[in-house]
Amino acid sequence: MATRLAAALAALGAVLAVLVAGGGPAQAHRTNLATALVTVTGDEVHYRLSVSAHDLAVALGIETDLKTPLPASAFETRGAALDAYLGRGLRIAAEGAPCRLAPPTIDYSGLPQDVALELVYRCPAPVERLSIAYGLFFDIDPQHRSIGRLVLTDRAEEFLFDRSLNRLDVEVGSAVPSMAPAERFLRVLLIGVEHILGGYDHLLFLAALLIGSVRFWGLVKIVTAFTVAHSLTLSLAWYGAVDLPARLVEILIALSIAYVAVENIVGKGLARRWLVTFFLGLVHGLGFYGVLRDLDLARGDAVTMVLAFNLGVEAGQIAVIAVVFLAITWWARQSWFPATARAGSAAILAVAAYWVVERAFLA
């Protein structure tokens, strides 16, 4: 019976491995974010919007499998579709009157991951009351967000758009920010939560840790070590003390998952799992920084925003652990636990190995 159950779980794990691995690195850290820099000068509003190349392709009706890199030529013939999409989804007004969009240009230097739309809106008069109505990409992904920085003559402030908050009204001469600090803190915290819940590689890493750590206090030590480690590298990276290429970080994260899975299979090193987790958490912190960096926040907001993102990550982790811990402790009491735990770890190892190869050689 145990042999048959282990075989069945191993087969299921292999299927899950193929399905999850098929998501590829493009989805491993998916946060549904676009970033923006908006500058107001006289009667002009300059709007630079950096978006996923594949998201833009879907919006413009360009055929894509969401994985194969898209060349610049795929977008160059879609000028009319881009004008129409921007006209429907991004509207700028000053003093209550619409501003006119000049022919947009696209910066392709971020391909194959991103493209940047360079937009210039010309308003009827010098801008004193600015309104931005944002509705891009919600038709593609309801969880889409756009976060950015608004630069005015006398100040700068951050903003964030999502499906429920898609309009920004600003008094250009006012010293009062459009979004209260508490609201911005909460929204960045939610981005941290979503990064864990929507990040396949971090969820797989947590799964590998839980399989090999079924005792409560052992799990507390592991979560604490991981929290301290990723908070350390996230902070160091934010302040420029550590800077590794994003691709290398993604490869190291996949290797860390593979290492934990191998430890589970061979049954060695589990007693010092908290120490191993600390060193692996240093790597994952760099992955978290890659998300926070995309928010393009002012350095003056660094402490509170790093704290908000960290709290969001921890909340996401705790939510995952709370859901599965009781099930795993029950599983650990069964006679067939060792065989099925090794089968599950083998499936995780297969996914992680696939990611290593894909991120190193195929991305």
CA distances from 235 to 53, 183, 243, 258, 275 (A): 29, 22, 11, 26, 20
Q: Which residue has the higher pLDDT, 25 or 111?
A: 111
Which DSSP state fits 301?
A: G
pTM above 0.85, yes or no: no
Q: What is the pLDDT of residue 12?
A: 39
Q: What is the pLDDT of residue 174?
A: 65
Q: What is the pLDDT of residue 291?
A: 63
Q: How many CA atoms lie within 13 A of 148 on its CB side?
A: 21
Mean pLDDT throughout 141-147? 82
Q: What is the pLDDT of residue 30?
A: 44
Mean pLDDT throughout 181-200? 77
Q: What is the pLDDT of residue 31?
A: 45
CA distances from 194 to 2, 102, 152 (A): 37, 36, 31
Q: What is the pLDDT of residue 5?
A: 44
d(C-alpha 19, C-alpha 225), whole Å = 30
Mean pLDDT throughout 226-232? 81
CB-based burial of residue 322 (10 Å sphere; 0-12 exposed, 13-18 middle, 19+ buried)?
exposed
Q: What is the pLDDT of residue 175?
A: 54
pLDDT of 96 above 60: yes
pLDDT band at 158 (very low <50, low <70, confident <90, very high): confident
Mean pLDDT throughout 38-48? 95
Local structure of 153: helix, strand or coil: coil
Mean pLDDT throughout 336-352? 91
Q: Which residue has the higher pLDDT, 15 or 242?
A: 242
Mean pLDDT throughout 172-183? 66
pLDDT band at 296 (very low <50, low <70, confident <90, very high): low
d(C-alpha 52, C-alpha 252), whole Å = 23
- Alpha helices, DSSP H, located in 212-301: 216-238, 246-266, 273-293
Mean pLDDT throughout 180-195? 77
Give me the chain's average pLDDT, please: 80
User: In this structure, which amino acid lies at residue 252?
Assistant: L
Q: Which residue has the higher pLDDT, 320 or 265?
A: 265
Q: What is the pLDDT of residue 294?
A: 60
